[in-house]
Amino acid sequence: MTDPELTYEEATARLEAIIKRLDSGEAGLRETLDLCREGRGLVELCAAELEAVGQGLEELRLNELVARLQAGAG
Amino acid sequence: MAQPGSAAPAGIDGSLLPGPFAVGHYAARMREYLRARTHVQLFGEVWNLRVSRAKVYFELRDAAGALPCSMWRGDFDALVLGDGALADGSQVVVGGGLDYYVGSRTSSPAFSFAISALRVAGEGDLLAQLDRLRRTLDAEGLFAPQKLLRRPALPRTIGVVTGEGGKARDDVLAGLARRGWAGRIVWAFAPVQDRHAAPRITRAVQDLAATGAVDVIVVARGGGSLADLFCFCDETLCRTIALLGVPVIASVGHHTDRTLIDDVAALSCSTPTHAAESAVPVHCAQARAEAVAVARRLGVHSSRAVLHRAQTLVRLSRAPGEHVARERARLHQGLREMRASGRRRASGEQARLARRALVLERRARAAALDARRATGLQAIAMALAAHDPDRTVRRGYALVSDRAGDVVTTGTAARAAGDITLRFGDGPVDATITPDR
């Protein structure tokens, strides 16, 4: 199961470790399937992070952000 | 003070002041007045040093005030100062007097202290203060906290503190575009040069961090003189940034300029573009391609693991049947070999028996022949026996022989032999022939 609190860099670091383990050919069937499942979750997390900064630049002034946050909090 | 060539307008109603006078005339008189003041020596720090083709300009400052100064380029070059000997912050002693450029219809007037002599006295107080402050902040460990903060590889929201109309804004956007980053950017515009700049920058940084929605803050300003950048050495600003919970990337001035914010920030960059790139270490387009490649590799590993093992299982499941088949084939082969061997053995035995039968037959034939021969021989023997002298002897006859054993068959031969042997059936008897009577 992928930890939703993982940061992008933590996710990519874990993915590198998973690929390295799989490439070694030392993982058994159960471990391989578990690693692949975990890896797919991490890829989805990374893709979501990349998607969040790929939708188009949004420019705000500080007071606009503050107003938006206050509106959201209210 | 009438001015030739132009008629003076009427003065202000009710005013007791003299005039009106033509301004150019008044300016010229003021220049004369100022130039008549006593020439003196002054000391202070050089700021905003500018060297033009004709003149060298700077401001002479200390804590209580400042005076614009100018020096003819020829006089300045005659001092033969080394490179960098006179720079912003340099402590100098200057000699000269007040002067006033009266200007014209097309040029602005300028007041200055006209310098005729200059001596560099040493490092400026402001720079010395800067160094002291730098050492103090360093000793308090305030250069470290920002550098210990985690800087996200892929921030979603970036706060930027910069001048609203400055080129740094465009440079930051260019740096982010180069990374392929298109998230949320929050501008906190603030003056970045005058004496009001430091508190406004401090406030902007604090407010950005207080939103809790900003992952990293970039403080950017283009190049300028050290005096222009001095607001970024403000102690309150530097202490605020040092203790801020959000990482700050500073890009103030050029790489040759080193302000205190560069020391306390998480990262110091030479240009706003570089600062923006540093705020997003990941190249987004490249990272997307890598994510796709990783997903593909995971799929390959997953299917290969299952497929490989399925093939192994199939191979293993076939193994017993194949083993039985191999055993069966081996047994059949053994059986065939055994039968062939039996046939070979039977055939050999048969041949051997045939050979033996042949031998026996031959022997039988030989034996029959022998029997026949024996019968013949017996007949011969019987025939011989019929003629055997011993048989005659055994019937009472005697066989005469001389002593040499030769048979004596006549009386003459007996007389000639003299000594003879008479062989009877029961044994020989020697005899001697006596002469005839």
Residue B300 distance to chain A (closest CA, Å): 10
| Strand bridging mode B248-252 / B267-268 | parallel
Q: What is the CA radius of gyration of chain B?
A: 73
- Residues from chain B that touch A31, judged by Cβ atoms under 8 A, are none
Instruction: Count Cβ–Cβ pairs < 8 Å, chain A vs chain B.
Output: 108
The confidence score (pLDDT) of residue B178 equals 92
Phi-psi region at B84: left, alpha or beta (left = phi > 0; alpha = psi -120 to 50): left
Burial status of residue A46 (CB atoms within 10 A of its CB: 0-12, 13-18, 19 or more): buried
Output the six-digit token pair for B108: 């602005």
Residue A41 distance to chain B (closest CA, Å): 10
Cα A46–chain centre separation? 3
User: Cα dihedral sign for A45, A49, A52, A55?
Assistant: negative
DSSP track, B371-415? HHHHHHHHHHHHHHHHT-HHHHHHTT--EEEETTS-B--SHHHHH
The C-alpha atoms of residue B291 and residue B402 are separated, in whole angstroms, by: 144
Residue B229 distance to chain A (closest CA, Å): 23
Q: Find the length of chain A.
A: 74
Q: What is the enclosing helix (H) or strand (E) of B430?
A: strand B427-432
- Residues from chain A that touch B189, judged by Cβ atoms under 8 A, are 61
pLDDT tens string for chain B (437 positions)? Answer: 444 456 789 889 999 999 899 999 999 999 999 999 999 999 998 899 999 999 999 999 988 899 999 999 998 888 877 666 788 878 889 999 999 999 999 999 999 999 999 988 755 556 667 788 898 999 999 999 999 999 999 999 999 999 988 788 999 999 999 999 999 999 999 988 776 789 999 999 999 999 999 999 999 988 776 667 878 888 999 999 999 999 999 998 765 667 899 999 999 998 899 999 999 998 988 888 888 998 898 888 888 888 887 888 888 888 888 888 888 999 999 899 988 988 888 888 888 888 888 888 888 888 888 888 878 777 877 777 777 777 778 888 888 888 888 888 888 888 888 899 988 888 888 988 887 65
The C-alpha atoms of residue B305 and residue A22 are separated, in whole angstroms, by: 10
The confidence score (pLDDT) of residue B2 equals 43
What single-letter amino acid sits at B64?
A
Burial A14-23 (b: 16+ CB within 10 A, else e): bbeebbebbe
Name the 3-class secondary structure at B308: helix
B413 vs B419, B430, B434, CA distance in Å? 11, 16, 13
More confident residue, A17 or B380: A17
What single-letter amino acid sits at B71?
M
Phi-psi region at B189: left, alpha or beta (left = phi > 0; alpha = psi -120 to 50): beta
B residues 152..171 contacting A (CB < 8 A) = 152-156, 159
The C-alpha atoms of residue B327 and residue A63 are separated, in whole angstroms, by: 87
Residue B197 distance to chain A (closest CA, Å): 17
Contact A62 B183 (CB under 8 A): no
3-state SS, one letter per residue, for B178-230: HCCCCCEEEEEECCCCCCCHHHHHHHHHHHHHHHCCCCEEEEEECCCCCCCCH
pLDDT classification of A74: cutoffs 50, 70, 90: low
Does any CB of chain B come closer than 8 Å to the CB of residue A6?
no
Contact A50 B181 (CB under 8 A): no
Does any CB of chain A come closer than 8 Å to the CB of residue B289?
no
Output the six-digit token pair for B268: 């110091």
ipTM: 0.83
- Spell out the residues 6+ positions from residue A46 whose beta carbon is closer than 8 angstroms to its own: A8, A11, A12, A15, B287, B291
Does any CB of chain A come closer than 8 Å to the CB of residue B291?
yes
The confidence score (pLDDT) of residue B3 equals 47
Give the residue from A45, A59, A62 with the most B CB atoms within 10 Å of its CB, the best one to mutate: A62
The confidence score (pLDDT) of residue B82 equals 64
Does any CB of chain A come closer than 8 Å to the CB of residue B181?
yes
| φ and ψ of B135, to 5 deg | -65, -40
Does any CB of chain A come closer than 8 Å to the CB of residue B297?
yes
A29, A36, A50: residue with CB nearest B284: A50
The confidence score (pLDDT) of residue B166 equals 79
Burial B110-120 (b: 16+ CB within 10 A, else e): eebbbbeebeb
Share of chain A above pLDDT 90, in %: 41
B155, B182, B204: residue with CB nearest A54: B182
Does any CB of chain B come closer than 8 Å to the CB of residue A55?
yes
The verdict on whether omega for the bond into residue B20 sits within 30 degrees of 0, i.e. cis, is yes
How does pLDDT run across B382-436, given as a tens digit for each residue? 777 777 777 778 888 888 888 888 888 888 888 888 899 988 888 888 988 887 6
The confidence score (pLDDT) of residue B225 equals 66
Burial status of residue B226 (CB atoms within 10 A of its CB: 0-12, 13-18, 19 or more): buried
Phi-psi region at B165: left, alpha or beta (left = phi > 0; alpha = psi -120 to 50): alpha
User: Cα dihedral sign for B130, B136, B140, B141?
Assistant: positive
The C-alpha atoms of residue A57 and residue A52 are separated, in whole angstroms, by: 10
The C-alpha atoms of residue B326 and residue B334 are separated, in whole angstroms, by: 12
Does any CB of chain B come closer than 8 Å to the CB of residue A73?
no
